Structure 1
Amino acid sequence: MTAETERVDALLAAMTPEEKAGQLGSFWFRPDEPGGDVAPMEGEMTGPQSFEAAIEHGLGHLTRVFGTVPVSVADGVADLRERQTRIQKASRFAIPAIAHEECLTGFTAYGATVYPTPLAWGAAFDPDLVEEVAAAIGRDLRAVGVDQGLAPVLDVVRDYRWGRVEESIGEDPYLVATVATAYVRGLQSTGLVATLKHFAGYSASRSARNHAPVAMGPRELADVLLPPFELAIREGGAGSVMPSYAAVDGAPPTASRTLLTSVLRDEWGFDGTVVSDYWAVPFLRRTHRIAADDDGAGALALAAGVDVELPETVGFAGLAALVRSGAVPEAVLDDAARRVLLQKARLGLLDPDWAPRADDGVDLDSPGNRSLARRLAERSVVLLSNDGTLPLAPGPGRVAVVGTTAVEPRTFLGCYSFPNHVLAKQGGDDLGIAVPTLLDALRVEHAGADVTHAQGAAITGDDRSGFAAAVALAAQADVAIVAVGDLAGLFGRGTSGEGCDAPDLTLPGVQADLVTAVLDTGTPVVLVVVSGRPYALGDLAPRCAAVVQAFFPGEEGGAAIAGVLSGRVDPSGRLPVAVPRTPSSSLPTYRAAPLDQRTDGVSSLDPAPLYPFGHGLSYTTVAYEALTLSASSMPSDGRVDVTVTVRNTGARPAAEIVQLYLTDHVAQTVRPVRELIGYRRVPLAPGDARRVTFTVHADRTSFTGLDLRRVVEPGTFTLAAGRSSEDLPVAAELEVTGRLRVLDGPRVLTTPARVDPAR
């Protein structure tokens, strides 16, 4: 027994039910102001009537002291210090609260760096850089007294229309798992607690509607949506988990003992805290209707394994009374309180000399932060097509820049950035940070050229009155850069973001018509899409000289995109989600089963994407010369080395994303046509060659079998490597031999890779 455990057990023995329950609650100072909510149904919810009532017996969490309204660092630090002092004085044990904040695209606070959104992390295929970014975010949070960050999101994209695609890392479980785990490591390296969201199933909501029910069987849940969480817990050591809002096959995760106890704790060994999503506990009564009242909802959530109710105490407000009446066993309350207190002990909150950290002079948008933001943005930009127009020639020339995205800085920022999450609902132009526009960046990048702009059309609406000016400008130019896409917001106040689901995958408003009008001038068009989801480009891309995709690249996005267009930055991003050909709402992701990836006369809908998962071009050529296996077979508990040689055959440097895919020829259940099992970013100078060796364990071939047990099944597999899920020039077959093997405990979850000079 550790000293922390002994201290917590002694506290619990001395606490009343009211004091234990106090550690499971939270409080949010929410201003009474117009402008809309920053959380779902915020205006309909009410917690304790006063802070004094909320902290009478202690408090588990303080909600978003910095992230609710614009406050300076000095004022926020002072406010947090004052609240913690009041919490300590209010109860017998003087235990401070855990202060939590959102941090999905950086610290969601006024004046803090806005990094690229998670979908851009996926596009970068660079976990090491994401870990570095997360560590920078964590340092800023810790400096001002924050203990827990509500990130990352590990939802695997299942339907591109879902508004929260921008918050997700991609459509492949392995990409999501490895990048999210890197973020967890980076954030927690600073002493902060990372929170995995949203456990589990949220991204598969019916018709891509936020909070809609999830119609999914246990096999898909186990093989597609759970693996990222498992890796982030087993290997990332994540300290907290947040259940999702949506009901999975009729069972809301907030009340699911199967998910929160059997899977999370018993199978995976998770020893951190489970915190509810905002108002998810009372939602058990109000939206799911599986409880008769808020107290009943709280009892259900507690029994399932929820430890803390966020953002304020509603369903957990009656727990002490339920314990005293015998309706809730005190041992269940003890288990949750013990986990919260242990986390506080690990954070130092139980130390006798604890005091709030008070660096009220920290720069939340430091030059170092901005440099990191630019590096990640540059690596996330994806060159989808190019007829040789890019990189743009330097020197004199006429460049027409068309589109709102070129001049509206908020179009670079995700919905959980402070400018879009909070400031947008208050009106005005203040972003709290400098966000150079794409037009600004292009004028810097092409100082010798005549760079002019016409808006053409807004992001939303059907106003075409600006088309004529845009067409006239483009007709006189040597090249037209048409920038289109999304403006993130919340609950219908944007075209992407939480509660901003799309009816189909047509570019918002009349932007597609604007692109067509400019194309009709005959001037070469470079289409730049800055968005939170992929949009159907099948009618536009074939007519464009080049197409560039950026997924909300953050405050340094303008410079990153302009650098790619000029050639100052060699494009190296790859698609974490496919780009559809048509706006149809029924397109599968790339890991679909065979019947979902072919037409063959069985359906009038062609599911083939315009650009597949993993696709992305550079300004050079890379050849895949060979793929070899260390052995042609391996036992069902063995491993094999897979080596692929890549060579830069062009005149410019490149960063090739070498991708390794697995195909199972015959299995007892329907399996994907192929699935990503490994990848590696490989820098290549002109003429340079590298050997990339992946070590593939037999566990990486496993899946959930007919009896719902995870198995490694002997048989024939194809291992293929290449540039995308559909461009795989080298491959080899592998036999897995021996008996069927059942995986009951920990398994190999990753495919390590090393890079060596080619011989």
Structure 2
Amino acid sequence: MTDAEKIAQLGSTWPDHDDGGDVAPMQETFRGADRFEEAIVDGLGQLTRVFGTAPIDPEAGRRRLTALQEQVVAANRFGIPAVAHEECLTGFFTWQATVYPTPLAWAATFNPELVGRMAQAIGSDMAAVGVHQGLAPVLDVVRDYRWGRVEETLGEDPYLVSELGLAYVQGLQSSGVVATLKHFAGYSASRAARNHAPAVLGPRELADVILVPFEKAVVAGRVRSVMNAYNDIDGVPCGADEVLLTGLLRDTWGFEGTVVSDYWAVAFLASMHHVADDVTGAARAALRAGIDVELPHTSGYGEALLDDGVPTDLLDRAVLRVLTQKAELGLLDPDWKPGQYTAPADFDSPRNRGIARDLAEQSVVLLDNPSGALPLASPRSVAVIGPAADDARCLFGCYSFPNHVLPHHPETPLGVEAPTVLDAIRQEFPDASVHHETGCSFTGDDRSGIEAAVAAASAADLTILVVGDRSGMFGEGTSGEGCDVGALTLPGGQEDLVDAVLDAANQTVLVLVSGRPYAIGRHARAADATLQAFFPGEEGSAAIAGVLSGRINPSGHLPVQVPGDTAGQPGTYLAPPLALKSDGVSNIDPTPAFPFGHGLSYTTFTIEDVEADAETIAVDGSVTVRATFTNTGPRAGTSVPQLYLTDPVASVTRPVRQLIGFTRIELAAGDSRTVEFQVHADLTSFTGQDLRRCVEPGRLVLTVAQSAGEPGRSVEVELRGDTRVVDHTRTMTTAVTILPS
């Protein structure tokens, strides 16, 4: 191959970019080639979002991709096709495809198996029409709930993110579609939760919190692609960080796939980070660091790079990785043809909707039910109030087709059946008289509707108050990419609406449908019951209504804390002692209203007979912790046992509690099951003062609980031996066994 042909394999083009709307700041500055025919001269690395740019039905999309690939193959003398990639965070990112719950909702299920089934279904739909790579999952561990992209994450605990992220990777790749980890790394630790801001990270937090899910997906999941993060860490942009993208990712962890740039991240090295004079210098820095493919358009990895010259070893290194992946995908096989893919008749199939329904139903979290107001008996008159009550788009995340693309095509219908919460409540309670008032909007100062909402609430036997977010992009929503906030108060006029309605209503159920947790402590104390749903997808309204009626027994548990009354200074549960409440030291109380892992049911569970099979183990040994869970309530339900580690004395400060194991158990009323957690000493490892990961001898406390905030039942174990250094080959998962009853 000539140098021009090699460089062409590292680039990309977005054929219908003008229809795609805003997907990154300053994107028009870095458009790349205007004409598709110019972009594919000598070949092409990737095709960007052929399905996910504008509304197009499945068959038309398949034909469009086939035609583009035929042009790509004809334009280069080797007949090499492009890799076609799409977003797939809440489903195949195309019109008329199932909109699954957002990742924060997956995390609330604590169910890796179900997440894996969803990813396999997404991948099979994509593969059937010739899409080869999906830009998911997001493995950023939440560090500040004010960040707009919290909704895209799997929560604030690295172990939970790791287990669910691994399940997604394995599910998607089992369908023959390349999974792409993002954003590598530190994106969620941006200063003051501002998108693209520098990441405030020390090496220990980076290693023990941020990198853990990526490490697991690479080592255990054999993920085939990684996307760099936009941010810098301690002054070094991730897109130009050779230590991160080559030294750690490849040389240490053994990653063998391709590294793709986040959209326009190569050009950003010059325009935003100012670590290069121009886009050519940015391209050289990115290639040297280890970025193999520039997305979504070729701006740096093009003619300018060719004219400037590029070291042959760096060019050949990247091209070999790209061609190897194309070979693995079968794109270099002699019998591969652009038209060999056949679109399924339905991207929103009964299979897909069934998985979306299971996820939605398992993700709804019952936060509080102090007087047993839920499940509802047979309400006669119901006031359904709030801006999230009668808007289907409030069910979807930012990276869903309806919220990402359709705002630019207002004449186009939603493309999927997605009843609103109001619709679902009317369906669930057909004999009730239901009255709806919006009350206020998600944004702006208009509170003129609050008076009518108060009147409706005071006249009804029951008020269901549905508030939260409407997701969007770059300030067009209250949650989503570029929709960061300064404080965790409900957006728009919703704080005033909630206060007024709670004061007037006879009985109120507060329902949060949101992309992040909000500081609702005082509202929850005033409500008769409180539910949290994190953008539950197209089946979400029926799930919420089912929980309200009792048709569904809630089993969701929080993957993030719900803050109390301190809206401006959020923390996460994964914190050392000085980060928690400190009477006499600070007047600010960071104690959450509802802790990580919290979730109630319409039945009750007890934890008994907690024991360890050894009191001492070697620093390379393991211990089995057993606990018996009993359903002591009146109906069947699902318990979510959680195992937490406490390291009372260590050479560096450690989290007061840290999740190291979990499972789900379905229990009939009165039934008991015993759970075994097999904990290897590697699960206690951390980054020591010398910045090496180590297992340190000493006393440990292992607590079986139903949230991070409850006492649970504990056992103590002593680790004995010399401090042991471990690496990426360590045991990273606690094996869980549910013994026969």
Unaligned runs of 5+ in 2: none
TM-superposed CA distance for 1:154, in Å, is 0.1
Q: Quote the residue 2:702 is aligned against.
A: 719
Of 456, 465, 470, which residue of structure 2 is paired with 1:487?
A: 470
Q: Which residue of 2 aligns with 1:619?
A: 602
CA contact (8 A) 1:382 1:573 kept: yes
Contact between 1:412 and 1:557, CA under 8 Å: does it hold in 2?
yes
1:618, CA displacement in angstroms?
0.2
Residue among 263, 275, 282 paired with 1:290? 275
> Which of 332, 335, 348 is the equivalent residue of 2:330?
348
Q: 1:116 aligns with which of 78, 101, 121?
A: 101
* 2:155 paired with 1:170: yes
- The structural deviation recorded for 1:459 is 1.6
Is 1:17–1:320's contact at 8 Å kept on the other side of the alignment? no
Query: Does the 8 Å CA contact 1:560/1:569 hold for their aligned counterparts?
Result: yes
- 1:591-626 residue CA offsets vs partner (Å, 9 max, x unmatched): 111000122221121111110000010001100112
Determine the C-alpha separation between the residues in 2 that align with 1:587 and 1:159. 6
SS at match of 1:296: helix
Shift of 1:388: 3.8
* Mapped partners of 1:38, 1:666: distance in 2: 46
1:278 equivalenced with 2:260 (yes/no): no
Alpha-carbon shift at residue 37 of structure 1 (Å): 1.2
Q: Which residue of 1 aligns with 2:311?
A: 329
Superposition map of 1:18-33 within 5 A: 18-32=4-18
What amino acid maps onto 1:738 in structure 2? Answer: G
* Aligned with 1:41 (options 1, 26, 29): 26
Give CA deviations for 1:618-647 in whole Å, capped at 9, x if unaligned: 001100112110101110000010111110
Q: Aligned-pair distance for 1:477? A: 1.3
| Cα distance in structure 1, aligned partners of 2:18 and 2:622 | 60
CA distance in 2, matches of 1:343, 1:498: 30
Tell me the amino acid that sits aligned with residue 632 of structure 2.
T
CA shift, 1:309, in A, is 0.4
Q: How well do the aligned residues superpose, as a CA RMSD in angstroms?
A: 1.3
Distance in 2 separating the partners of 1:22 and 1:585 = 48
SS in 2 for 1:539: helix
Displacement of 1:757: 3.5
3-state SS, counterpart of residue 626 of structure 2: strand
Name the aligned partner's letter for residue 79 of structure 1.
R
Q: 2:564 aligns with which of 577, 581, 597?
A: 581
What amino acid maps onto 2:6 in structure 1? Answer: K
- Residues 553 and 206 (structure 1), Cα distance of their counterparts in 2 relative to 1, 3 Å cut: same
Identity of aligned residues (%): 57
Deviations along 1:392-451, whole A, 9 cap, x unmatched? 444351111111211000000000000100001333472111110111111111112112
Rounded to whole Å, the distance in 2 between the matches of 1:174 and 1:318 is 44
Amino acid at match of 2:522: D
Distance (Å, rounded) in 1 between the aligned partners of 2:678 and 2:496: 48
Q: Which residue of 2 is the match for residue 602 of structure 1? A: 585
**Quick one: distance in 2 between partners of 1:86 and 1:396?**
62
1:81 Cα deviation from its structure 2 partner: 0.6
Partner in structure 2 of residue 545 of structure 1: 528
How far residue 688 of structure 1 moved from its aligned partner, in angstroms, is 0.6
- Three-state SS of the structure 2 residue aligned to 1:540 is helix
- 8 Å Cα contact 1:161-1:504 kept in structure 2: yes
CA distance, structure 1, for counterparts of residue 54 and residue 566 of structure 2? 38
Q: Does structure 1 conserve the Cα–Cα contact (< 8 Å) formed by 2:52 and 2:87?
A: yes
Candidates 58, 83, 86, aligned match of 1:98: 83
Is the contact made by 1:491 and 1:498 (CA closer than 8 Å) also made in structure 2? yes
In structure 2, C-alpha distance between the alignment counterparts of 1:586 and 1:388, rounded to whole Å? 31
Residues 419 and 428 of structure 1, relative CA distance in 2, 3 Å threshold: same
1:10 maps to none
Contact 1:390 1:567 in 2 (8 A): no
Task: Write the mapping of 1:195-594 to structure 2, written as runs, cut at 5 A.
Answer: 195-318=180-303, 321=306, 327-356=309-338, 357-395=340-378, 397-428=380-411, 430-594=413-577
Distance of 2:388 and 2:505 partners within structure 1: 22
In structure 2, how many angstroms separate the alpha carbons of the residues matched to 1:545 and 1:144?
49
Q: Deviations over 1:315-344 (max 9, x none)?
A: 11147526xx6x532011111111111100
> Which structure 2 residues correspond to residues 606-755 of structure 1 after superposition, within 5 A?
606-755=589-738
User: What SS is found at the alignment partner of 1:316?
Assistant: coil
Kindly provide the amino acid, as one letter, of the partner of residue 400 in structure 2. S
Residues 717, 734 of structure 1: 8 Å contact kept: yes
Q: 1:319 to 1:717 in 2, by over 3 A?
A: farther
CA distance in 2, matches of 1:578, 1:486: 17
State how far apart, in whole Å, the 2-side matches of 1:756 and 1:687 are: 16
Corresponding residue number in structure 2 for 1:138: 123
User: Quick one: distance in 1 between partners of 2:412 and 2:79?
Assistant: 42
Q: Deviations over 1:252-275 (max 9, x none)?
A: 111111111111111111100000
Q: Is the 8 A contact 1:299 1:319 kept in 2?
A: no
Q: Helix, strand or coil: the match of 1:724?
A: coil
Q: What amino acid is the match of 2:93?
A: T
Give the Cα–Cα distance (whole angstroms) in 2 for the partners of residues 495 and 320 of structure 1: 40
1:180 pairs with 2:149: no
In the alignment, the residues of structure 2 paired with residue 681 and residue 574 of structure 1 have an alpha-carbon distance, to the nearest angstrom, of 11
- CA distance in 2 between counterparts of 1:613 and 1:197 reads 23
Deviations 1:66-125 (A, max 9, x none): 001111112111111111011111111000000000000001111111000000011010
The answer for the alignment partner of 1:3 in structure 2 is none
Q: Which runs of 4+ in 1 moved over 6 A?
A: none
Q: State the AA in 1 paired with 2:623.
A: V
Q: Report the CA distance shift for 1:552/1:500 in structure 2 as closer, same or farther (over 3 A).
A: same
Aligned partners of 2:678 and 2:734 also within 8 Å: yes
Distance 1:639 1:396, change over 3 A: closer
User: Are the counterparts in 2 of residues 694 and 754 from structure 1 also a CA contact under 8 Å?
Assistant: yes
Cα contact 2:280–2:305 (8 A) shared by 1: no
How many Å separate the matches in 2 of 1:363 and 1:594? 52
TM-score by length of 1: 0.96
Of 523-532 and 596-605, deviating more is 596-605
- C-alpha contact 2:353 2:539 (8 A) present in aligned 1: yes
Task: Report the alpha carbon displacement of residue 361 of structure 1 after superposing the two structures with TM.
Answer: 4.5
Q: Secondary structure of the equivalent of 1:274?
A: strand
Is residue 87 from structure 1 mapped to residue 82 from structure 2 by the alignment?
Answer: no
**Corresponding residue for 2:144?**
159
Following superposition, the deviation at residue 50 of structure 1 comes to: 2.1
Cα distance between partner residues in 1 of 2:15 and 2:585? 56
Q: What CA distance in whole angstroms lies between the structure 1 residues aligned with 2:401 and 2:204?
A: 38
Task: Read off the aligned partner of 2:684 and give its amino acid letter.
Answer: T
Q: Matched residue of 2:251: which SS?
A: helix
Q: Contact conserved, 2:374 with 2:529, CA < 8 A, in 1?
A: no
| Contact map agreement 2:376 2:548 (CA 8 A) in 1 | no
**Aligned residues of 1:140 and 1:362 also touching (Cα < 8 A):** no
**SS at the partner of 1:690?**
strand
Alpha-carbon distance in structure 2 between the residues aligned to 1:36 and 1:107: 18
Gaps of at least 5 residues in structure 1 are 1-14
Q: Deviations over 1:114-141 (max 9, x none)?
A: 0000000110100000000111101111
Q: Provide closer, same or farther for how the CA distance between residues 216 and 361 of structure 1 changes in structure 2, counting only shifts above 3 A.
A: closer
